[in-house]
Structure 1
Amino acid sequence: MVKQSIFSRIAQLAKANINALLDAAEDPQKMLDQMVRDYSANITEAEQAVAQTIGNLRLLEEDYASDEREAQEWGDKALSASRTADQFRASGDTANADKFDNLAKVALGRQMSLEQEMAVAKPQIESQTQAVAQLKDGLAKMQEKLRELSAKRDELVARQKNAAAQAQVHDSLKSFDIMNPQSELSRFEEKVRREEARVRGAQELAASSVDAQFNELEELSKQSELEARLAALKNKNS
């Protein structure tokens, strides 16, 4: 009964469909944390019950040892009284011999009573010792299950966070599609291209203006040279 009462809720928890519970939970991490807390609380309760059971066993063992010592003492007293009675009887003192024989019988009666109590207590101690061993084994399994549950909790939480991060990256990339002509990036790129084209146009225009000025200057030089040569010819003819 003790063992069943200690582990009944643990058994129910172990049989629970954890996957179904997690699927229905709004926040799986909070639910896993609560499961670990519940399991830890049950283990604490089980530890207290097991400790109490062990304590009761130790009391039985102490009482048994005390009865065993007392029974031995009464046996020694009975032996001593019997020997004293034999001595009085050998000396012809039957009255004292009977007196000490009666004391020996009283001591033997006390010894027999204690031995009967020990006979009743012994199977109880054996049963309790076996129960304590089973409880310790069950508690060790519960503690191991808690370690597994905690490790599983950490694994599932890490996987959940990783999946959430991947989903966020995926959604961000999806909304930031550089091939979409309507995206902000495409519009910005088009604006940059127009600005670059304007700069190239301005540069080309500036270059054309400079070339025209140099061409005009060259044309003026040619005209000046023609005028000079014409003047030189006129001078020769005169």
Structure 2
Amino acid sequence: MSIFKRLRDLTMSNINAIIDKAEDPIKMTDQYIRDMTEDLEDAEKAVAAQIAIEKKFKQLYEEQEALVNKRNQQAHTAAQAGNADLARRALEEKKTAEGKLTEYKTSYDQNKASADNLRSKLDEMRKQLSQMKSKRETLVARYNAAKAQTEINKAMSGFSSDSATAGLKRMEEKMLQAEAQAEASNEMSAGNKSLDDEFEKLNKDQGVEDELAALMKQYEKQ
């Protein structure tokens, strides 16, 4: 399976559609983030390997390019010195180096194009992973808000102003009933005074009457 298969198959629009249908969108998003993170790590290794190959061929063709220039200069130097044999040998090695230069340059161009393509895909994967992480934060906020709203609706489903008013009225009726019972109890308690209580009250009343009579009699004499 290609390292970039997920990038081709799971565009953000496809991922969004799958997440919207998921029973738990947060868990689904976390799974995609883990998968994309693993793919990104593999892709980074693949790109690094491709870049290493690109640099190797660049080094090889630059070495042959330098050798071509060197042998060409040496051939001119030998010719100026009248040494045809040495000039010939320099030109022969120059010819061989030119062949290798062409081969290495072609390989370098091909590998550079592949590396550039992988770099582009790697940047796209990083972008999608960043978008997925941002989407997760939005999903968490929306999910928690929806969950809280559901709990509130559930709590409010058994509550209404009519039921609250009826409940308050029942409480008032019970309070009035309790107060009436307390008042009746007091009256019954007052009606059930003992004989000793009655005589004690009578004695208190008689004492007041005696004191009043004495007081009135005192002022009559004056």
Structure 1 and Structure 2 fold alike (TM over 0.5):
yes
Amino acid at match of 2:15: I
8 A contact 2:50–2:115 mirrored in 1: yes
C-alpha distance in 2 between matches for 1:6 and 1:21: 21
- Residue in 1 aligned with 2:174? 194
C-alpha distance in 2 between matches for 1:23 and 1:73: 66
Q: Does 1:31 align with 2:28?
A: yes
- Residue in 1 aligned with 2:153? 170
For structure 1, list consecutive stretches of 5 or more residues without a partner in the other structure.
87-99, 210-215, 233-238
Deviation (angstroms), 1:151: 0.7
8 A contact 2:12–2:128 mirrored in 1: no
- Alignment partner of 1:50 out of 47, 50, 59: 47
C-alpha distance in 2 between matches for 1:129 and 1:22: 37
Amino acid at match of 1:172: A
Deviation (angstroms), 1:81: 2.9
For structure 2, list consecutive stretches of 5 or more residues without a partner in the other structure.
191-200, 218-222
Q: Does 1:148 align with 2:131?
A: yes
Deviation (angstroms), 1:112: 1.1
Greater CA drift, 109-118 or 12-21 = 12-21
- Report the TM-score when normalising by structure 2: 0.72
- Alignment partner of 2:106 out of 123, 141, 158: 123
Residues 77, 165 of structure 1: alpha-carbon distance in 2 compared, 3 angstrom cutoff: same
- Residue in 2 aligned with 1:8? 5
**What do the CA deviations read for 1:169-224 (whole angstroms, capped 9, x no partner)?**
1101223556438x9xx39x845752454236535875996xxxxxx99xx79xx6
Amino acid at match of 1:71: V
- Residue in 1 aligned with 2:118? 135
- Residue in 2 aligned with 1:59? 56
Amino acid at match of 2:49: Q
- Residue in 2 aligned with 1:161? 144
Amino acid at match of 1:34: Q
- Residue in 1 aligned with 2:71? 74
**What do the CA deviations read for 1:136-165 (whole angstroms, capped 9, x no partner)?**
223222211111111112211221111011
Amino acid at match of 1:77: Q
**What do the CA deviations read for 1:13-50 (whole angstroms, capped 9, x no partner)?**
11773355335533221111001111122222221111
- Residue in 1 aligned with 2:194? none
SS at match of 2:23: coil
Aligned length: 204
Q: Aligned Cα RMSD in Å? A: 3.9
SS at match of 1:175: coil
